[in-house]
Amino acid sequence: MRYSEELIALASYMAGEFDNQAQALADPAWYVHLRLWQRPVPLFTEDSITLFAEQANIVNLEKAYRPRIIRLRPGTGGNSSLEVQYYMLKDPGLVQGAGRDREKLKTLTTEQIEFLPGCTLNVTQNSLTTPGYHFQAFLPPEARCCFTYQTETYQVSLGFEATPEAFLTYDKGIDPQTGKAIWGALLGPFRFTKRQDFSAEITI
């Protein structure tokens, strides 16, 4: 399939190894110094560019957490040209550390992941004065994004912005009883800078 220019650009901006060092040094009380990996993985290639994502505290890179599959695809709802679908790993241990070790992703199949209903972001984009786009991706107002892990159900609010220079994440954990955010980007987005580019791994 021939992917749109916008889809390729979004995937290219997101594919890489990132950290938020400057933010963590400036405001360590609210922002942990994180390393974030988003690596292309050959799933849903008929219409999508898909990424495996995980992150780790900079002081313990061996203990990566929050593994997820992020599927970037043409929009299906008519309100946006692109959308982002999230999937969870049925057995996260199989691919833990794959951000640093791409070989672990080679055997990943669609049978090993599970689509998360209610966790699809609508994407808007604006052209920049310099070459490129400013993408914004957020859940629809009525969406309720939840997943179950080890018999516990968790609710999250997902969102991000992507440009050629930066990647901002708005992910927060939500208390399902009160609807209030309890962890994550409580005072504003995590501001990541790309340290290593993985866009050459995208199969087009």
Domain spanning 5-201, CATH class: mainly beta
Domain ranges of the chain: 5-201
- Per-residue pLDDT tens over the stretch 50-104: 999 999 999 999 999 999 999 999 998 666 789 999 999 999 999 999 999 999 9
Please count the residues of the chain: 204
Q: How far is CA 76 from the centre of its chain?
A: 19
Contacts made by residues 56-61, CB under 8 angstroms, sequence distance 24+: 56/99, 57/32, 57/33, 58/19, 58/21, 58/24, 58/33, 58/34, 59/33, 61/35, 61/100
Give the Cβ contact number of residue 17 at 10 Å. 17
Tell me the whole-structure pTM to 2 decimals. 0.94
Secondary structure of residue 1 in the 3-state scheme: coil
Identify the pLDDT of residue 1.
Answer: 62
Averaged confidence pLDDT in the chain? 93
Per-residue pLDDT, averaged over 155-176, amounts to 94
Say if CB 139 and CB 116 are below 8 A apart. no
More confident residue, 134 or 179: 134
